[in-house]
Amino acid sequence: MENFGTRLKQTMEKKGMSASELSRASGVGKNLISYYIHGRCKAKQDKVYLLAKALHVNPGWLMTGVEQVEESRPIFTPDSDKWRLIITNMTLEDYEMVRDAFNRTERRLREEGKL
């Protein structure tokens, strides 16, 4: 099963980017990128977003390996200040828990006709 580090490394290779180039493009430290690739530490959501933006890939896919299939209206957008405040110190596990809660809430609101 692919993990975040594997997806990050493969995407960098596909885009022809070195860790130094990705660091400059994303603002994420070169050593931290190396740690992610080798599984030495878990990426927080804000870093995943910056890396995905620099690599021009979906942050959700980079983080989880799952492409978003169904179109939905996000409660917060990745560019919003509220979203940045929420995700700044999140681990991937925290993000997945929050994402699942948002998805459940959104489904319920759609079923109730409030969205």
Q: What is the pLDDT of residue 109?
A: 79
Q: What is the pLDDT of residue 13?
A: 95
Q: Which residue has the higher pLDDT, 97 or 28?
A: 28
What is the pLDDT, as a whole number, of residue 80? Answer: 61
What does the alpha-carbon distance between residue 36 and residue 62 come to, in Å, rounded to a whole number?
A: 12
pTM summary value? 0.59
For the CA atoms of 67, 69, 70, 74, the dihedral, rounded to the nearest 10 degrees, stands at 10
Q: Is 38 exposed, middle or buried (0-12, 13-18, 19+ CB in 10 A)?
A: exposed
CA distance 34 to 19: 7
Q: Three-state SS for 42?
A: coil
Q: What's residue 20's pLDDT?
A: 95
Tally of structural domains, the chain: 1
pLDDT tens for 48-106 read 999 999 999 988 889 888 875 444 455 555 556 666 656 666 677 777 787 787 788 88
- What is the domain range of residue 68? 4-111
